[in-house]
Amino acid sequence: MKKELITFRNPKSPISETFRTLRTNIQFMNVNKRLKSILITSTLPGEGKSWVASNLAVTFAQAGKQVILIDADMRKARQYSIFGVSPRPGLANYLAENDKNAELSDMEKYVQKTEIEGLYVISAGNVPPNPSELLITPQMQRLLDKLSSQCDIIIVDAPPCELVTDAAILSRIVDSTIVVTAHKFTKKANLQKTIKSIKNVGGKIAGVVLNKVPIDAKKYEKSYYYGSQLTTTRGK
């Protein structure tokens, strides 16, 4: 596994603690136990959504939860590389190959176990010519329904909203969405546009994560990023 997984490699670090705070915030939002699937997206590439998704998944697993991380960024998949699992078969293969009669047992070849207890990954799979069309099929909704009955939480790593419609499509069928932004990188207008596009299709915004906040570089020089201020705020 790569150095991005700070919550696994250095669980006592300040950055790991902020991820635990983010996990706690999500759990407080979930007092009725109805939040089973969370979509992680951003406005543009480079804001750190895959990094946030992977470390958040690790943090939930460390709390004793059964977690499935789905890499739905079929155009630029990264989760297989972060966790050191096979890039295929994955989500694209499942959606293209399975119909409504597919049984949960059929998922065994797509769900891969990681080195972290309780954490499983579904890679993006082969790059399809039509990712958006695959995600909008009923198979995607059925997949989430099946997995929800088998784990405590599903985290979906989706493409940036400004580039393609994939994240907006997925936001309709997950329980809530977190938008990752980057300090002095994300433009306010782009963030507002992303939130609006998700709400326009009926998606729910859990909050916004502010990533790549500069901190004392000498103190945290071994960290993957200079640092992250991970906070959630209610969408307005």
Is pLDDT of 88 > 80? yes
Instruction: Let me know the angle formed at the C-alpha of 183 by 181 and 184, rounded to the nearest 5 degrees.
Output: 115
pLDDT bracket for residue 2 (50, 70, 90): confident
The per-residue pLDDT for 128 is: 87
Model confidence at 137: pLDDT above 60? yes
> Model confidence at 32, in pLDDT bands (50, 70, 90)?
low
C-alpha to C-alpha distance for 212 and 82, rounded to whole angstroms = 18
Each residue's pLDDT tens digit, 157-170: 999 998 889 999 99
164 or 79: whose pLDDT is higher?
A: 79
Helix residue ranges, H only, the chain: 6-9, 14-29, 49-62, 79-83, 91-97, 131-135, 138-148, 166-171, 188-200
- Evaluate if pTM is beyond 0.85: yes
pLDDT for 116: 96
Work out the number of other CB atoms within 10 angstroms of the CB of residue 139: 18
Mean pLDDT of 142-158: 94
Is the per-residue pLDDT at 228 higher than 50?
no
Looking at the predicted structure, is the pLDDT value of residue 216 above 70? no
- Angle formed by the axes of helices 49-62 and 14-29, nearest 10°: 80
Q: What pLDDT is attached to residue 230?
A: 44
Lowest mean pLDDT among 45-49, 88-92, 98-102, 199-203: 98-102
Please report the pLDDT score of residue 218 as a whole number.
Answer: 41
Q: What is the pLDDT of residue 221?
A: 39
Q: Is the pLDDT confidence value at 23 over 60?
A: yes
Contact 157, 73 (CB under 8 A): yes
